[in-house]
Amino acid sequence: MAESKSPTVYDVAREADVSIATVSRVLRSPEKVSVSTRERVLQAVRRLGYVPNASARGLADRRTGVLGLLIPGHDIPATSRRLPAEDGAPAVVEFLDDRDGRQADPYRNRYFEQLVRGAEAAAWRAGYALLVAAGTSVSRDVVMHDLAGRVDALAVVARTVPDELLRGSIGRTPMVTVAGEGGTGADAVRVDNRGGMSALVRHVLAVKPPGPVLYLAGPPDSPDAAGRARGFHDAVAGQDVPWHTAMADFTWQGGHDAVTAQLEEEIPAAVIGANDQSALGALAALREGGVDVPGTCVVTGFDGIDESRYSTPTLTTVRQPMIDLGICAVELLLRRLADPDAAPRDLQLPVDVLLRTSCGPLG
């Protein structure tokens, strides 16, 4: 079979003995074509294995039918495997001493997998395809530029590319910011850091033993950290509870050290981590200090990383609905494509509080 190149509408038209317009109509608006002709064309399509060329269709349509999703780069190590040599030495199995998990890869929480899945599902549901791009450090602008010409609209995870790029070369492409700061006057979806933390802390205040509360703050330049801190303050404001803040910087060590220092003065009744890592550090410090969790002191984190499910005790935390984030990002794009002049929306998705043993009995 010398089927050297793909058949086009012309081939189908010839095969079915109709004009190319009719072929196109059969595919795009079948109701405009008589049943008999339609059948004949569809048969020709099948016989030739015709697949419409998306580029041509996109050109004629002035739309690509593709949505873009730009996620932060991952910098796959340069040592990553390439194609083995043709003559292929036999595959060599590597033994890694992984008893403490150090060899585990760094992409701990399935954050982006879920984002991609949600976006993908929502996009296909609406008849769009999803182009995924990771802005690797070297080439953010190139990627961005390339993407802009390929898609009808673009979802960008916050801080993936510099702001001026967002406004610059892609001024005409509808965009939504994902997990950003909001309030930029553009479409945006993010997670309710503030509300989630506030709800969590209110719950803690209701169940914790008597005593002071320690808040393990995140880095000051992080919007997430800021939102969570505000949520914490919302919850403790006006409550008659002693509390103070220590910087943990979103790290295990930070949480560990802050709690260790705290134990020298007074045993806290609750430690609220701005994220899971610092809460896990706190858990370790409390164990070292012989403090019973959750009996004497309850602990909470934020993010819902894997480790929080397996720590001892398991860590109460807040999970971000990443799938929904992806879905909503796409839905916002679809909305804007449908109505370019709609007022920008700034969605805040509610989070899920996962109650686990580190904060004691279920309220």
Q: Which 79-98 positions form the footprint of a copy of itself (CB under 8 A)?
A: 80-84, 86, 88, 90-98
Nearer to a copy of itself, 69 or 248 (CB): 69
Nearer to a copy of itself, 200 or 269 (CB): 200
103 phi-psi bin (left φ>0, alpha ψ -120 to 50, beta other): alpha
Nearer to DNA, 27 or 229 (CB): 27
Least Cβ distance, residue 236 to DNA (angstroms): 56
Which of a copy of itself, DNA, none is residue 19 near (CB under 5 to 8 Å by kind)?
DNA
Which of DNA, a copy of itself, none is residue 118 near (CB under 5 to 8 Å by kind)?
a copy of itself
| Helix spans in 215-311 (H) | 223-236, 252-265, 276-288, 306-310
Least Cβ distance, residue 43 to DNA (angstroms): 14
Distance, CA of 113 to CA of 130 (rounded, Å): 14
List residues binding DNA (CB under 7 A).
5-6, 8-10, 17-25, 27-29, 32-34, 36-37, 50, 52-53, 56-57, 59-62
CA 8 to each of CA 11, 13, 115: distance values in angstroms, whole numbers, following the listed order:
5, 9, 36
Q: Are 67 and 176 in contact (CB under 8 A)?
A: no
For residue 93, count other CB atoms closer than 10 A to its CB.
5
Nearer to a copy of itself, 112 or 243 (CB): 112
Nearer to DNA, 25 or 203 (CB): 25
Distance, CA of 23 to CA of 85 (rounded, Å): 46
288 near a copy of itself (CB under 8 A): no
Strand partners for 215: 245, 272
**H or E, element range at 217:** strand 213-217
Least Cβ distance, residue 173 to a copy of itself (angstroms): 8
Rg (CA), the chain: 27
Find the binder of a copy of itself among 11, 20, 37, 139 (CB under 8 A).
Answer: 139
Contact letters for a copy of itself, residues 113-132 (x by CB under 8 A): xx-xxx-xx--x----xxxx
Least Cβ distance, residue 296 to a copy of itself (angstroms): 19
Least Cβ distance, residue 236 to a copy of itself (angstroms): 17
**Upper half-sphere CA count for residue 184 (Cβ side, 13 Å):** 17
15 near a copy of itself (CB under 8 A): no
Least Cβ distance, residue 127 to DNA (angstroms): 13
**Window 43 to 82, contacts with a copy of itself (CB under 8 A):** 49, 51-59, 64, 66, 74, 76, 80-82
Amino acid identity for residue 118 in this structure: G
341 near a copy of itself (CB under 8 A): no
Nearer to DNA, 56 or 342 (CB): 56
DSSP-derived secondary structure letter, 299: E
249 near a copy of itself (CB under 8 A): no
Angle, helix 35-48 to helix 20-28, in steps of 10 degrees: 90
DSSP-derived secondary structure letter, 158: T
DSSP-derived secondary structure letter, 248: -
Strand partners for 72: 135
133 near a copy of itself (CB under 8 A): yes
Q: Are 73 and 161 in contact (CB under 8 A)?
A: no
Distance, CA of 363 to CA of 346 (rounded, Å): 32
Nearer to DNA, 21 or 342 (CB): 21
Find the binder of a copy of itself among 175, 199, 226, 267 (CB under 8 A).
Answer: 199
Which of DNA, a copy of itself, none is residue 146 near (CB under 5 to 8 Å by kind)?
a copy of itself
